[in-house]
Amino acid sequence: MTLTEILLVLTGIIYTDTKIVHIDIHVSGCTNSEGEDMYGLDGEEVAHAEWEAQKYVMTLPDFADPFEYVEGTYEQAVANQQVCRQNLATIIQASKHPAVAEAPPMSSIYPRGEVKMGQENSLICFIGGFYPPRLNVTWTRNSKMVTKGVSTSQLRVNVNDGTYSQFSTLQFTPQKGDIYTCTVDHQALERPMTREFDVEVSEVSESSLTLPAVFCVVGLIVEMLGMATGLFFFIKAK
């Protein structure tokens, strides 16, 4: 789907002391059909508006005091959207539908933890550096579409250039020979971009030590003990 109009407002405050610099950012943006309002600190999202739930959601963990919800934040976000759409309509009329700036995404795919046969894991697809902030992510397993176990993070804005990043995560149980793909579709791409992950499991267990291997290890230990004993008597004779 192509975005024809978008307006993004970034406001930021830099807090400094003699040693530490913090960047506090507020993002309020809208298109002709959607909108976003979020707060961030040092590149991490603090809270964002959820329009369907009609509330502002804190996304930092509980231990991140003293951040807490301030009454009226959601209502202010709604008012910001109204102002944004009014300004957007004015800009569209004045500039006769200007072209939208675009930045194609980059993506990578990797497991959250060590891959072990038959044990549940998470496969992460990171997408970054894209604009406008809308894309579509799909997963496949052995060329078949997968929707179960898929979750998507909130959009995160890069305060340095205004581009966005997002994580898509798939819960999976690796089986040898499986091939997973993460495909990203964005309006700045000529064609969808696909990243592939082949399940390669390397397991070493007690049963994998064959009888010749055991004898080899024992022989090496005996040889080392013999060398140590010979050296001891040699030094003692001297």
What confidence tens digit (pLDDT) does each residue in 116-129 have?
888 999 999 999 99
Measured CA angle at 193 (ends 36, 32), to 5 deg: 25
What is the average pLDDT value for the chain, to the nearest integer?
76
For the chain, where do the domains classified as CATH 2.60.40.10 start and end? 106-198
Q: What is the pLDDT of residue 214?
A: 38
Tell me which CATH code domain 106-198 carries.
2.60.40.10
Q: What is the pLDDT of residue 186?
A: 95
User: What is the per-residue pLDDT across 157-205, written as a single tens digit (0 to 9) for each?
Assistant: 887 778 889 999 999 998 988 999 999 999 999 999 999 999 875 443 3
Mean pLDDT of 150-156: 87
Residue 132, preceding bond cis, omega within 30 degrees?
Answer: yes
Q: Residue 160 contacts by C-beta under 8 Å, 6 or more apart in sequence?
A: none
* Topology classification of domain 6-95: 3.10.320
Q: 3-state DSSP call for residue 45?
A: strand
Q: What is the pLDDT of residue 212?
A: 44
CB 162 within 8 A of CB 28: no
Q: Tell me the C-alpha distance between 190 and 22, whole Å.
A: 38
Q: Is the pLDDT of residue 97 over 60?
A: yes
Paired sense of beta strands 193-198 and 179-185, if any: antiparallel
Q: Tell me the C-alpha distance between 38 and 79, whole Å.
A: 14
Q: Which pTM was predicted?
A: 0.56
For the chain, where do the domains classified as CATH 3.10.320.10 start and end? 6-95
